[in-house]
Amino acid sequence: MRLEGKRAIVLGAAGKDNMGQVIARRLVAEGAKVMVAGRKAEYLDQFVAAHPGKGFMALCDITRKDDNQALAAAAVEEMGGVDIAVNATGWGLLKPFLETTEDEIQRISDLQFKGPYMFFQAMIEAMKDGGSIIQISSATATIMLNDHAAYMGTKAGTDHVIRCIANEFGGQGIRANSISPGLTETPMTAAEGKTPGLWEAFLPSYPLGRVGTSDDIAAAVVWLSSDECFMTGQNLQVNGGLTLRRNPWKDEIAASVMAAMQAQGN
């Protein structure tokens, strides 16, 4: 119950058991009131039903300024304010550099740079007594991965925005930090996880011997949200040590998948 009395927003929680939902459930378990937000109502409504008196919901498209402002206003109206704001939105665009279209560049910039910028603006204005802003980033904002340039660039840019917020608004009691997962077991990666040999290609890159889970990220969110946290402007590498090494290259992944498929055929 480290977050008793805190009021949190988790944006990007509209998918079944996605990282945003796992984070929101953990925040409730620690005592916070939590407003989940996203573009689709079904799983947001289910969260509210499962957490009476603690769960709230609002529809929000992070790419729209009015939606971000309305989300902040809804949190103030229904919970009395905002102490914790988590952005867990993202789009795992995986495409070769020269094949990435202008439309795709615009879409991912809107979702992973412009949108978070506007979300942070709205949350800061709602944080009258200080608070914690948390951006879910990616290990690939720091280390390389093939065919991921637009994703990596927008995540890295937003990490620097977080540093600017930490510097400018620390005097108001607002902390701002990023969390960088590596490969993580989520609904978004479930299909890839069924590919024989894919996970095995990544495991040598993790000193702790396994890929991450949403629960790992949620635990880090709890600490960054708590009054125990005396940290701001940082990017926590919550990825089992992946950034000490590197992601596997494309040919290494292909070789691991082929070997696993051949083993299955035998």
Residues designated catalytic? 151
Name residue 136's beta-bridge partners: 179
What does the alpha-carbon distance between residue 260 and residue 196 come to, in Å, rounded to a whole number?
5
What does the alpha-carbon distance between residue 189 and residue 117 come to, in Å, rounded to a whole number?
26
Angle between helices 19-29 and 214-225 (to 10 degrees): 50
What does the alpha-carbon distance between residue 198 and residue 260 come to, in Å, rounded to a whole number?
9
3-state secondary structure of 209: coil
3-state secondary structure of 85: strand
What does the alpha-carbon distance between residue 198 and residue 61 come to, in Å, rounded to a whole number?
33
Contact 87, 27 (CB under 8 A): no
